[in-house]
Amino acid sequence: MSSRIYGTIKPALPEGVKVLVIDPAIDLQVTTAATERDLLTNAELLAALGSPALSEAQLDSLNARLAAMIARHCRVPADGIIAPTLREETIEETFRLKSRNDCLILSRKPIVSVTSITEASTALVVADYEIQKSAGMLKRLSGDDYT
C-alpha cells in the first residue's frame, strides 16, 4: 500500500518532542521550499551578539550557519536535496506500508494543512481521515475491521 500526502508543514518542534528517524519506507520530498531560511533578521542577530562590528556579508553567513545548526540539532528531517529548516515548507511524503496502520506519524510537525491524500491510487476525502496537527499524525478513518 502506498499513500501520498501533500500539504503545508510548519516544522516547529515543541520542547521535549523527539523526532523519529525516517524509515526507508518513507519518501520525503520538499515541493515548495521556504523562501527565507534564517530564523533571525540580521538586526536581531546583531542585537543578540551585543553589537559587534560585523559586515552584512558576515551577518548573512553567520545567520545561515546558525539556522542550519539549529535545524540539525532539532533533527528536522530533510529530503537530501534541500537543507532542512524550521521555516514553513510544502512537502510530499510517500509511505510504503507492509500492513495497514491506524495512524501515520508524519516527518514534520505541526501540520498547517493537508492538500491531498492518496491511498493505493484513490484520492481520499476529508471524511476518510483525521489529523492531529500538533502531533503531526494522520489517522485513517474506516468502518471496516481491516480484513
Average pLDDT over residues 46-66: 89
CA 107 to chain centre: 6
Residue at 72 is within a domain: no
- Is the CA virtual torsion 28, 33, 34, 39 positive or negative? positive
In a domain, 24, yes or no: yes
Q: For the whole model, what pTM was predicted? A: 0.66
Residue-level pLDDT at 59: 92
8: in domain: yes
**CA torsion 124→12→18→23, rounded to 10°?**
40
Q: Is residue 129 part of a domain?
A: yes
As for how many domains the chain has, the answer is 1
67 within a domain of the structure (yes/no): no
Q: State the pLDDT confidence band at 66, using cuts at 50, 70 and 90.
A: very high
Rounded distance between C-alpha atoms, residue 85 and residue 147, angstroms: 40
Domain that includes residue 110, residue range: 2-33+88-140
* Backbone dihedral angles phi then psi of residue 71, each to the nearest 5 degrees: -60, -40
**Longest distance between any two alpha carbons in the chain, whole Å:** 67
